[in-house]
């Protein structure tokens, strides 16, 4: 590791302000896997490999949620290097644990407040991060950030907006399933749409590309720079993070609908077998919401395949898919949060 990495180098690419990359230290101390089955903490089915920042629970057969316990160390240089001098003794910042799962488009950022912590200076901050089984597939990335919690106009050489990133650490990876290396299923890629003939026109914000049906890819339109910036915001307070959540919900609504309909049309009506592995995963994500009275996954797959193949029942399937997605995505709460944030700012 180079000396600039040890010190937390200041980077400017993509940021108009000082940003300390790798200045934080994320340490995982223990992992609790919970479910109906008894689990022995000494069992080697859970592996925490510090050398490459990896946690594996692939060997655990049945679980409901996993709690990752650890600490994030914030050195004084973070405050000295990213805040105006007047704010360093009482830093207006939050510690955020960005939790992302590309296969389920999970993007969450629980902050120190949710862990009942007050970030008031250098030190080690303990956390217990809970991850639900129904929300994740494949790999989950956990990465800490220090972000601004208040607007500042004291010194424009430093970050000014709520949610601006100030410092980070290398991410840890939680492996929950054995999955094929498919290039990052549904990890959003950022491309200017007007440079690709096969993409929609520049007015579109996102595009789900099925050029290779075995690995559909989600693209965000780089031509909408301000919106893409908001979508990459890691903050938990302010209008941008609230707007980000609403935008992602809008994108998810469209993406999940396309994926579920594509899966339904590709599944074999007789056997319930999907054409591609991702289709099995997508159906499993929504199996409790699509047809709640069907308990068996294979039977559910046959049912949605039959409905997709039937002209009479296709509208029923579309309706069920819409209801299932709305149950998963809490549009009213997100919109209310954004509305209340707007009222507060006024």
Is residue 209 in a domain? no
The total number of structural domains in the chain stands at 1
Please give the structure tokens belonging to residue 311.
Answer: 């002209």
Reported as a pLDDT band with limits 50, 70 and 90, residue 84 is very high
What confidence tens digit (pLDDT) does each residue in 244-271 have?
888 888 888 899 999 999 999 999 998 8
Show the 3-state SS of 23-85.
Answer: CCEEEEEEEEEECCCCCCCCCCCCEEEHHHCEEECCCCCCCCEEEEEEEEEECHHHHHHHCCH
Q: Please, what is the Cα angle at 38 between 37 and 41, to 5 degrees?
A: 130
Round to whole Å and give the CA distance between 192 and 240: 22
Give Cα 220 distance to the centre of its chain. 15
Predicted local confidence at residue 297, as pLDDT: 85
What confidence tens digit (pLDDT) does each residue in 16-36 have?
578 898 899 999 999 999 887
Round to whole Å and give the CA distance between 14 and 42: 44
Round to whole Å and give the CA distance between 94 and 180: 36
CB burial of residue 313 (10 Å; 0-12, 13-18, 19+)? middle
State which residues form the domain around 35.
3-175
Is residue 123 in a domain? yes
**CA-to-CA separations, 215 to 176, 186, 257, 263, in angstroms, rounded:** 20, 8, 16, 12
> Do residues 21 and 9 touch, judged by C-beta distance below 8 A?
yes
> Do residues 136 and 106 touch, judged by C-beta distance below 8 A?
yes
> Do residues 291 and 320 touch, judged by C-beta distance below 8 A?
yes
> Do residues 283 and 291 touch, judged by C-beta distance below 8 A?
no
Is residue 264 in a domain? no
Is residue 27 in a domain? yes
Is residue 310 in a domain? no
Is residue 336 in a domain? no
What confidence tens digit (pLDDT) does each residue in 169-181 have?
999 999 988 655 4
Round to whole Å and give the CA distance between 73 and 22: 11
Is residue 330 in a domain? no
Question: What's the whole-model pTM score?
Answer: 0.69
Is residue 111 in a domain? yes
Q: Using the 8-state DSSP alphabet, how is residue 22 labeled?
A: T
Predicted local confidence at residue 23, as pLDDT: 94
What confidence tens digit (pLDDT) does each residue in 268-297 have?
998 899 998 888 888 888 888 888 888 888
Please give the structure tokens belonging to residue 260.
Answer: 């579920």
Please give the average per-residue pLDDT across 111-128, as a whole number. 93
């Amino acid at each position: 590791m180079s000396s600039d990495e040890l010190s937390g180098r200041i980077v400017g690419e993509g940021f108009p302000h000082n940003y300390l990359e790798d200045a934080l230290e994320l340490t995982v101390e223990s992992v609790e896997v919970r479910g109906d089955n008894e689990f022995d903490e000494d069992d080697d089915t859970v592996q925490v490999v510090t050398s490459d920042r990896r946690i594996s629970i692939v060997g655990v057969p049945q679980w409901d949620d996993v709690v990752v316990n650890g600490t994030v160390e914030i050195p004084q240089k973070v405050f000295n290097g990213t805040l105006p001098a007047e704010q360093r003794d009482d830093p207006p910042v939050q510690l955020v644990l960005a939790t992302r799962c590309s296969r389920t488009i999970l993007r969450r950022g629980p902050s120190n407040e949710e862990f009942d912590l007050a970030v008031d200076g250098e030190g080690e901050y303990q956390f217990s991060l809970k991850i639900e089984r129904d929300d994740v597939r494949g790999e989950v990335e956990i990465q800490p950030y220090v972000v601004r919690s208040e607007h500042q106009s004291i010194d424009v050489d430093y970050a000014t907006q709520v949610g601006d990133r100030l410092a980070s650490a290398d991410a840890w990876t939680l492996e929950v399933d054995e999955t094929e290396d498919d290039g990052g299923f549904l990890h959003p890629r950022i491309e200017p749409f007007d440079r690709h003939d096969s993409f929609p026109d520049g007015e579109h914000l996102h595009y789900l590309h099925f050029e290779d049906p075995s690995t559909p890819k989600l693209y965000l339109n780089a031509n909408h720079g301000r919106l893409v910036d908001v979508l990459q915001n890691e903050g938990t307070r302010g209008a941008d993070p609230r707007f980000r959540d609403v935008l992602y919900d809008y994108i998810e609504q469209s993406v999940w609908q396309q994926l579920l309909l594509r899966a339904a049309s590709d599944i074999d009506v007789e056997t319930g077998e999907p054409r591609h592995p991702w289709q099995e995963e997508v159906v499993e994500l929504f199996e409790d919401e699509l047809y709640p009275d069907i308990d068996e996954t294979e039977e559910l797959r046959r049912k949605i395949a039959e409905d997709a193949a039937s002209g009479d029942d296709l509208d029923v399937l579309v309706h069920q898919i819409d209801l299932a997605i709305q149950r998963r995505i809490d549009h009213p709460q997100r919109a209310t949060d954004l509305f209340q944030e707007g009222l507060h700012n006024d």
